[in-house]
Chain A
Amino acid sequence: MTDPVISIRNLSKSFGSNEVLNSINAEVPRGDVIGLLGLNGSGKTTLIETLLGFSPASDGLVEIFGKNSFGDIDNDTKKCIGFVPQSDELMQNISVKNYLNLIAGFYSHWNIKLIERLCAEWNIPLEQRTEKLSVGQKQKLAILNRSWP
């Protein structure tokens, strides 16, 4: 309980000469729900991506569950992390139902009941092919095809 889930130390990130994150220090204790605000281009997505280790930090370190997020995260830790990106590439030429089944195969703890319920509540047509979904429906599907703890 006492160890922070995420600790960010002196995190900097720049793209060429454009410095997006400038030496950020923060800790996230367990149980917090944090809303991230900022203007367009203020670095929200960059922060999230660097935080999760998708791209290397220019300087500094992020630890998730005590492990360096860039390279050190093992499979067990990964199971505890769910990530919904801003825009998601969905596979094409496949029905929503088959797509979800396919994704489920990648996770050891797929919460099938939750996904089924949400599909019904959010009116996602299961037989529809993914490329024919509307933008909003695609976003819903993108939210669903993560591993929900």
Chain B
Amino acid sequence: MIVLDEPVASLDPLARRQFLKELVDIADDQKRTIIFSTHIVTDLERVANKVWLLKDGDIAVREDLDTLKEHTVRVKLPPNTAIPESFSNDSLIHHRNEQLANILLFTQWTAERHQELEQLIGEKLEPEIFITGGYFSGAFTMKGVLLICRYFLSWQLMLRWFSAVGLFFLIVLPFIYLLYFFASGTFIFNFTVFSPFSVNLYAYLCLIAFPFLSSPLAFRNLIANSQLSLIPNFRIKAGLSLLLFTFALSMLPLISLIPTMNLPINPNQIILSSINIFCAASFYTLLFQLTLPSRYFIYIVSYGLILFVIFLGLLGETIISLLKEPYFASGLALLCITGWVVAISILAKKKTFKAADQSIFNQEFLANPESTWLNNITFGKLNSSAGTLLTGLPDGLGDRLKRAFMVCILSPFIVTIFLMMIGFGRDSEVETLPSFPEFFLIFSFFTVSIGTYNFSNLAPRSRYLWFGVVATGYGTGSTLKAPCFQI
């Protein structure tokens, strides 16, 4: 726990920002509690996820930052109008008189309260919503439009939408396949245990289930993710959001076209591939949102790399013949993934193993034999013993080495095998049931992924690193393959 009383009051902006960055890093793992008082509201937004506002000896406001922003309004009463006495002023946090007009600042503002106040006053009111750095009401000015864009296209809101749309697609995708089947009248899927289509489906399901299984805390993050507002530059934020948003929107109408398309060059394949990519991309967004609270630059880099790899994959359609050479393909995949892992490893900051983790492991894991293995697979409860278990390296070797082994050698290797299994570099016409080694590999794939995810408690960034690896593998594989779309 860290308590700071106006820590940045006399620092210059540069040092302030550096200091806040350190603070964010410290708060990053969600295990430490920080309380700090400040007068600089933008700092608050960068670091805090909750706000307490002291007034008249009491905590007048005590809310999540997001909630606070959404439900705080400024109401300007008509001139010479007093606040109606019957209107409860519980959530009134500020009252100012300006040119005979009362200006009131309310939190916990709802549509009902709005109606109530309008009825009491007998005039129409236009409450202004609070947007970072100011209040805003004029919706039809250029500035207004920009501000609305800034609000609705804010990184975090955007991510939520994008993730939601992605999840929606993931859920309806099987139905799209079916729809296509009924519309075209041809049965194009081979529902064998290990047909590419079913593997795709497994991958989707696993990707959906994976975070649920791994970390309840991550889901708490998803719900209360305010740390994403850390991206300092509004232009970057708005630009990227807009880009993603446009991309998402442009994909939507394509679905309705799928069953009717019947052109010689067969755009179905491309369209369905695009949807596939979109689903995958949305899912990466979700995963990154879950796993990457503050390191926005890695965010952007990872996202860019994933898209790059996926588009490489699309490009690969034209050089598919080359990629059909199994050794070339898997070698390339290994190279791509290892390169990426190395690149991100360089960006990621290393954290040292703490003795506290050891004691948590001893107390909560070893001392509770009745607790199940799955219950213990949560953040912050597994330690280097788990690393030993998963990598097979001896106990004394040190966590960093094990971690490095896990993310740099074991994971890419397994992903590559996985890629080869889902048909990357394999003739897609060939349908075989998986052999025992393949089953074994799938099994270890998930064991390792769950392990890495928790192992990452020691190095917060390797958890999304793993997700990234899985995502890239999955995206590349499914895109290059697109086997179920061969019509």
The interface of chain A, by Cβ under 8 A from chain B, is: 5-6, 12, 19-24, 26, 28-39, 42-45, 47-48, 51-52, 64-65, 80-86, 118, 121-122, 135-136, 138-140, 143, 146, 148-149
The answer to whether B55 and A42 have CB atoms under 8 Å apart is yes
Q: Interface size on B (CB < 8 Å)? A: 48
Stretch at the interface among B8-16, B79-87, B327-335, B438-446: B8-16
* 20 further interface pairs, Cβ-Cβ under 8 Å (given A19-B57, A37-B52, A136-B15): A32-B33, A34-B34, A34-B52, A35-B37, A35-B50, A36-B52, A37-B39, A37-B54, A38-B37, A38-B53, A43-B54, A48-B5, A64-B1, A80-B1, A81-B2, A86-B9, A118-B22, A122-B15, A143-B4, A149-B32
Given the interface pairs A44-B5, A82-B3, the reply to whether A32 lies near B53 with Cβ below 8 Å is: no
A29 and B33 CA atoms in complex are apart in Å by: 8
Q: Which residues of B contact A143 (CB under 8 A)?
A: 4, 7, 19
Q: How far is the CA of A66 from the CA of B131 in the complex (A)?
A: 38
Asked if B58 is an interface residue, CB under 8 A from chain A, the answer is: yes
Q: Do A122 and B1 touch across chains, with their CB atoms under 8 A apart?
A: no
| Contact assessment for A36 and B33 in the assembled complex, using a CB-CB cutoff below 8 Å | no
Q: Is B48 positioned at the interface, with any CB of A under 8 Å from its CB?
A: yes
CA distance A105 to B239 in the complex (A): 50
| Interface-located stretch among B23-31, B114-122, B406-414 | B23-31
Q: Which of B6, B8, B9 has the most CB of A within 10 A?
A: B6
Residues of B within 8 A of A148 (CB): 2, 26
26 A-B pairs whose Cβ atoms sit less than 8 Å apart in the complex: A12-B57, A22-B58, A24-B57, A24-B59, A32-B33, A32-B49, A33-B48, A33-B49, A34-B49, A34-B51, A36-B35, A36-B36, A37-B39, A44-B37, A45-B6, A47-B54, A48-B35, A83-B3, A83-B5, A86-B9, A122-B19, A135-B10, A136-B10, A138-B10, A146-B2, A148-B26
B18 sits at the interface (CB 8 A): yes
Nearest CB on B from A104, distance (A): 18
B interface with A by C-beta (< 8 Å): 1-12, 15, 18-19, 22-23, 26-27, 30-39, 41, 43-44, 47-59, 61-62, 65
- Which chain A residue has the least Cβ–Cβ distance from B216? A1
Which one of A12, A21, A28, A35 contacts B33 once the chains associate, using CB atoms below 8 Å? A28
**Interface core residue of B5, B32, B65 (most chain A CB under 10 Å):** B5
A64: chain B residues at CB < 8 Å are 1
Contacts of B57 on A, CB cut-off 8 Å?
A: 12, 19-24, 43
Contact A31 B30 (CB under 8 A): yes
State A83–B1 Cα separation when bound (angstroms). 9
- Give chain B nearest CB distance to A15 CB in angstroms: 12
In the docked arrangement, what's the CA distance between A26 and B56, Å? 16
Contact A31 B33, beta carbon cutoff 8 Å: yes
Q: For the complex, what is the distance from the CA of A110 to the CA of B147, rounded to whole Å?
A: 46
Q: Are B5 and A33 in contact (CB under 8 A)?
A: no
- Kindly list chain A residues whose C-beta atoms are within 8 Å of the C-beta of B19: 122, 140, 143
**Bound-state Cα–Cα, A50 to B218, Å:** 33
* In the bound complex, CA of A44 to CA of B35 (Å): 11
